Structure 1
Amino acid sequence: MTTHSRPERVGQEIQAAIGALLTRGELRDPRIGFITITGVKVSPDLRVAKVFYSMMGTDEEKKATQAGLDAAKPFVRRAVTSAVKLRVSPEVFFAFDASVGEGDKIDRLLREVRSKEGW
């Protein structure tokens, strides 16, 4: 799928850069669990990047991961700036994406109905 909007293209590049950081294990904070970057929303002026992530775990683990990501924001910002050539370094914010968990819940409920109804 091609995108025509510059903020969307920059968001994809930022997502790839942060994904590479996670793959290489450069975020060494023990609070950060196994996460998946699900998307990046960049402001039209390219100064703010909101990074959405998902993970499985308890509420305490999710809070600890959010705290670890918040602590790693300056490092992530520097890494993104070096990987993505932009005039201005975007400020990075992390937000939990609950859509993956909700989708799993809906899928489980549909399988349960299917088995009860004999579909």
Structure 2
Amino acid sequence: MADPARAKRLAKRISTVVASAIEYEIKDPPLAFVTVTDTKVTGDLHDATVYYTVRGQTLQDEPDYAAAAAALERAKGTLRSKVGSATGVRFTPTLAFVLDKIPETSAHMEELLARARAADEDLARVRQGAKHAGDADPYRVAGAADDETSDDGA
């Protein structure tokens, strides 16, 4: 097993090489919207998992995940060759591409937090004019009950 620090350095280097190759060297239109977010390398340095996100062409467009995945599969051999020549390790790691759902998950969490804030604001508006039900002091006062019993019993 390799040194974890070496695996981390190799993962960072692979991430840089793959991102650069996707941006500047590989001319596949679906890859124009792919961003490499993270890379993990196994302890034996034989397999690398590259995490990526896909953005839409405009802010309103939905990203084309299937086209991006297919383009990455087509470019996998070229990317692995570039990683091998750029890293100089004895065995070039195999590349696996995994769609990173963190941006979508964080957007969903932001939406849920916004709904919770709106519900809290509605509750605060309702509470403003509200008052407690019943008497101000609903509990029996100890001194008043003792005085009544002592008068009747004597």
Q: Do the structures match in fold with TM over 0.5? A: yes
For residue 17 of structure 1, what is the amino acid of its counterpart? V
Using the TM superposition, give the Cα deviation of residue 117 of structure 1 relative to its aligned residue in structure 2, in angstroms: 2.2
Q: How many residues align?
A: 114
Does 2:57 match 1:66? no
Give the Cα–Cα distance (whole angstroms) in 1 for the partners of residues 54 and 111 of structure 2.
18
SS at match of 2:51: strand
Q: Deviations over 1:33-63 (max 9, x none)?
A: 412211111111111111010123447x101
Using the TM superposition, give the Cα deviation of residue 86 of structure 1 relative to its aligned residue in structure 2, in angstroms: 0.7
Does 2:103 match 1:100? yes
Unaligned runs of 5+ in 1: none
Using the TM superposition, give the Cα deviation of residue 23 of structure 1 relative to its aligned residue in structure 2, in angstroms: 3.3
- Cα RMSD (Å): 1.9
Give the Cα–Cα distance (whole angstroms) in 1 for the partners of residues 85 and 115 of structure 2.
48
Does 2:28 match 1:56? no
Q: Give the structure with the larger helix fraction.
A: 2
Q: 1:77 maps to what in 2? A: 80
Instruction: Point out the structure with max Rg over C-alpha.
Output: 2
Give the Cα–Cα distance (whole angstroms) in 2 for the partners of residues 30 and 9 of structure 1.
30
Using the TM superposition, give the Cα deviation of residue 92 of structure 1 relative to its aligned residue in structure 2, in angstroms: 0.8
Q: Deviations over 1:63-111 (max 9, x none)?
A: 1110000000011001111111211111111111112210111012212
Give the Cα–Cα distance (whole angstroms) in 1 for the partners of residues 111 and 36 of structure 2.
23
Give the Cα–Cα distance (whole angstroms) in 2 for the partners of residues 42 and 96 of structure 1.
16
Give the Cα–Cα distance (whole angstroms) in 1 for the partners of residues 8 and 95 of structure 2.
15
Give the Cα–Cα distance (whole angstroms) in 2 for the partners of residues 108 and 56 of structure 1.
19
Give the Cα–Cα distance (whole angstroms) in 1 for the partners of residues 34 and 108 of structure 2.
19
Give the Cα–Cα distance (whole angstroms) in 1 for the partners of residues 111 and 87 of structure 2.
39
Q: Which has the higher contact order (CA 8 A, sep 6+)?
A: 1
Listed as ranges, the matches of 1:6-45 within 5 Å are 6-24=6-24, 26-45=25-44
Identity of aligned residues (%): 29
Give the Cα–Cα distance (whole angstroms) in 1 for the partners of residues 110 and 86 of structure 2.
37
